[in-house]
Amino acid sequence: MIDHRAALARWRRLDVVVRDLPLGLLFLAAAFLPVLRSHGTQLGGVPERPFDALAVVVIAVESLPLALRRRSPAGCLTLVALGFAVDQLRGYHTFAAAALAFALVSAGAHLERRRRTTAAGFSVAYVVLAIALSRFGAEPVSEYVSFFLLLVFAWGIGSWVRTTRAAEAAHRRRVAEDTRAAERTTIARELHDVVTHHVTAMVVQAEAARYLTAAPDRLDQTLTAITDTGRRAITDLRHLLDLLNPGHEAPSPGGLRTLVEQARRAGQPVEFTEEGTPAESAGSADLVAYRVVQEALTNALKHARGSRTAVEVHHGDREIAVTVSTNGATSVSPGGSGRGLAGLRERVAVLGGDFSAGDDDGGFVVRARIPTGNPA
């Protein structure tokens, strides 16, 4: 059984001249078919004459250069036009003369340099041919003008194809650039979330260690917590690099408990409540929920250290609801970068969810509703 995909792949690997040659061979063969003998192109009033040895050469010059229509479009057009001129002056009027239109389309589409010079040179050559043909017949000038407009139309089709391809290529480049920019933004946000969370915890623990010199046991526990936080930061940074791999998966729901334990070791009293069963295919929702809790705990450590903080996570059939409230905390100080909460708002919005962060009943509350994308 023929594997059409494999055959097509092998065909595309062939040189472009080999792939374009069949079109030239088709015109060459068609020119000798009796049924098409009376359907050739006739310009001017030169009387028709039967084929001879020169006719075979003319037909070959008109047809076979089409193999070069993409490799050397100017050369292809020159040879085909030369064959066409001899064809009309000798009165062969072969079907192969129609190859001139294909040569013009290809030149308009693939010619890279000196396009205007080529178009002007071809136009001058056509005028010379029209003057020469007018000596052998009484064709009106309008016939030559009409045929020239047809040739211009063929060139225009090629130019339109060229412009369309250039526009598509530009669009692909813009999409690629936008994609790279989005990837850089995503990685920057991940770096912000990971580094800020762990470094904040380490700074808070280090500041607390200053006052524990008289309590060696507690000092040792605090230094151990700093070490563990640093190791966790390294692990999370490695995990962030895994984002570049196709097989990357979001943090497991159990990672939320790790975040809570880290905050507790840093001196933040955190109550953690998790309800419902995590969906098997929550996709990006799990990662976003993880980052919401991470950023909220980081802000609590920075702006309301020691204040009671409650983390509530509810796993529903179609969404994940996250609420993080900190007593006594107020809105994030103007001195902050603002990237954390703003980035979370954008992430949640991309998934079609809702996000809010602000003062509420004497504290600061972060709420997020994150759709999982699972059907009802």
Task: Look at residue 285 in the predicted model and tell me its pLDDT.
Answer: 80
Residue 313's nearest CA partner among 362, 244, 263, 254 is 254
Total tally of structural domains belonging to the chain: 2
Q: How many residues does the chain have?
A: 376
Same domain, yes or no: 42 and 126 = yes
Give the lowest-confidence range in 23-32, 162-171, 177-186, 311-320.
177-186
Same domain, yes or no: 96 and 19 = yes
**pLDDT at residue 75 tops 50:** yes
pLDDT tens digits along 180-219: 677 667 666 666 666 666 667 666 767 666 666 666 777 7
CATH of residue 234: 3.30.565.10
Would 216 be classed as within a structural domain?
yes
Region 348-375: mean pLDDT is: 84
The residue from 139, 164, 199 where one domain ends is: 139
Would 159 be classed as within a structural domain?
no
Task: Look at residue 107 in the predicted model and tell me its pLDDT.
Answer: 94
Would 164 be classed as within a structural domain?
no
Would 87 be classed as within a structural domain?
yes
Rounded to an integer, what distance in angstroms lies between the CA atom of residue 289 and that of residue 130? 77
Domain range for 272 is 186-371
pLDDT tens digits along 324-360: 999 876 665 444 444 577 778 888 888 888 999 888 8
Written as six digits, the tokens of 226 are 């700093």
Task: Look at residue 153 in the predicted model and tell me its pLDDT.
Answer: 95
Would 177 be classed as within a structural domain?
no
Give the lowest-confidence range in 25-39, 131-145, 210-224.
210-224
**pLDDT at residue 18 tops 80:** yes
The answer to whether residues 351 and 373 touch, using CB atoms and an 8 Å cutoff, is yes
Q: What's the pTM? A: 0.54
Rounded to an integer, what distance in angstroms lies between the CA atom of residue 335 and that of residue 248? 34
Would 134 be classed as within a structural domain?
yes
Cα–Cα distances (Å) from 214 to 39, 219, 220, 265, 266, in that order, read 108, 8, 11, 19, 19
